[in-house]
Amino acid sequence: MKDVLVKLGSFTGSFAKHRRHSDIGQAPANTKLSDPSQDGVVVEQVASLKAAEEREARLASVQPLCMDTTFLDCFQSQSVSVEDKVKAFRLLIHSGLQNIVIAAFVNGGNPNLFFLQALRSQHLIDERCWAVSELFDANGSELPGQDLPLGLSRMLEFSVQNAMLDCDVGAAAAEWGASGDSSSGSSFQDLCALLESRCRWVAANLVCGRPQPPACWLRLRGWERAMQVAPTRLLALVRWLGCLPPGVRPGGLVLHMGAPQLPSTASARVAAIRRVMRAAGWAAQQE
């Protein structure tokens, strides 16, 4: 915006100079009101600013919750010393962040157990700490297994109080029918029952002496694809989750998006999910 103002100011000065010469009847040599090439730059800059403001307005309407994951790769790196990881974690705490993901026990994740043990021994794991866990560990057929996933077991081991359950609703195995029929062998009722059992387990086991129940959030991976090919099924799942008892249902939903994207690009689909959440009784701060 500074560049735009500078250019506009130079045009104003040129115009004033032209007026002064005109008042005394002298035509200044090589004086123009504006340079067409500079006019184009200004128009382009203003259009860019307007587009940025529109994107910001759409993003504000989504009302995202900020959760820091920037250091997750550092925390999981095997080439960074445990001491340096702990120092980085302390800096994050001092910065005022309230939600920090310290481990991801998911496909592709590689948590450093020595780092988690160091945090635990120094009493640094508290209500601000989160870990991501698969909703279920694949049993070879990519269908849900009923055993407790490794991620939740590790969270219990290291006293991580807040769980983000990773559920791939866009995967082929999750393309269940709302009526319960599915060629993959998994049904809508099966998935709902599994989600409820996981949420109940988190509420009962990841307490660690805190005055209020731990948070259990559900991260929907592949939700954009699900909203394209089967929006009714996904919204039915959101509605069902919202009808769970307040002490059991997830604290909110996390809509996972790829790095090049922003929530503003999917605001209509986010708004559809939010409407279902509110209608089901989820509070605005839980979305």
- What is the tens place of the pLDDT at every residue in 16-72? 444 444 454 554 555 555 566 666 777 788 888 887 787 677 666 655 566 666 678
**Contacts for 256 with CB less than 8 Å, ≥ 6 apart:** 219, 220, 221, 222, 223
- 257 vs 141: CA distance, rounded Å: 26
The confidence score (pLDDT) of residue 179 equals: 42
- The mean pLDDT value for 131-157 works out to 77
Minimum mean pLDDT range among 19-33, 193-207, 235-249 = 19-33
Work out the number of other CB atoms within 10 angstroms of the CB of residue 262.
Answer: 14
Task: Pinpoint the residues of the chain covered by CATH 3.20.20.70.
Answer: 72-286
The confidence score (pLDDT) of residue 72 equals: 82
Work out the number of other CB atoms within 10 angstroms of the CB of residue 226.
Answer: 22
* DSSP 3-state of 78: coil
Q: Alpha carbon of 106 to those of 14, 137, 257: distances in Å?
A: 63, 9, 16
Work out the number of other CB atoms within 10 angstroms of the CB of residue 70.
Answer: 11
pLDDT band at 210 (very low <50, low <70, confident <90, very high): low
**What pTM was estimated for this model as a whole?**
0.68
Residue 120 CB burial class (10 angstroms; 0-12, 13-18, ≥19):
middle
- 53 vs 181: CA distance, rounded Å: 46
Nearest one of 160, 147, 175, 169 to 216, comparing CA atoms: 160
CATH 3.30.830.10 is right for the domain spanning 72-286: no
- How far does CA 185 lie from the centroid of its chain? 30
